[in-house]
Amino acid sequence: MRFELITNDTDTIVGMRLAGISGKLVTEDKNQIETELKKSMDMPDVAIVLITEGVARICESLIYELKSKYHKPLIVEIPDSKSVGKTKKSITKYINEAIGLKI
C-alpha cells in the first residue's frame, strides 16, 4: 500500500518525492484535478490520497462525494508550501490523526 499526492505546488511535489511519495502535479483546471483524483482513487495499491489545500479548494464537492462513496483509499487534505494553513500541524500529525499510525 502506498501514498499518492495530488498538488498544484511544485515545492510540495518535490519534497514528497524526496520522501518516496509519488504524485501528480496539476494545474488550476478543475477537470484535470477531477481526472487525476479519480485515477488515484481507482489504483488498487493506493491506501491514502494526499491532496493539498489549494487543490482541495478547487474541487471541494467532488472530494466530499468521493469520501462518502469510497471507503478506500483515504483522502487526506494537507497544507502545501504556500499555505498559511488552517492549523500549524505537520504532515505526520495529519496522517497520525487520519489513520491512527505513528510514523
Across the 103 residues of the chain, what is the mean pLDDT of every consecutive 10-residue run?
A: 90 88 89 90 90 89 84 86 61 68 61
Residue with cell 484535470: 32
Supply the CATH number for residue 94's domain: 3.40.50.10580
> Which pLDDT does position 48 carry in this prediction?
92
Best CA proximity match to 101, nearest among 50, 48, 53? 48
> Which pLDDT does position 24 carry in this prediction?
92
Cβ(7)–Cβ(49) under 8 Å? no
Write out the E strands in the chain.
2-7, 22-25, 46-52, 74-78
Which domain covers residue 63, as residue numbers?
A: 2-99
> Which pLDDT does position 84 carry in this prediction?
62
The number of folded domains in the chain is: 1
- Torsions phi, psi for 74 (to 5 deg): -80, 135
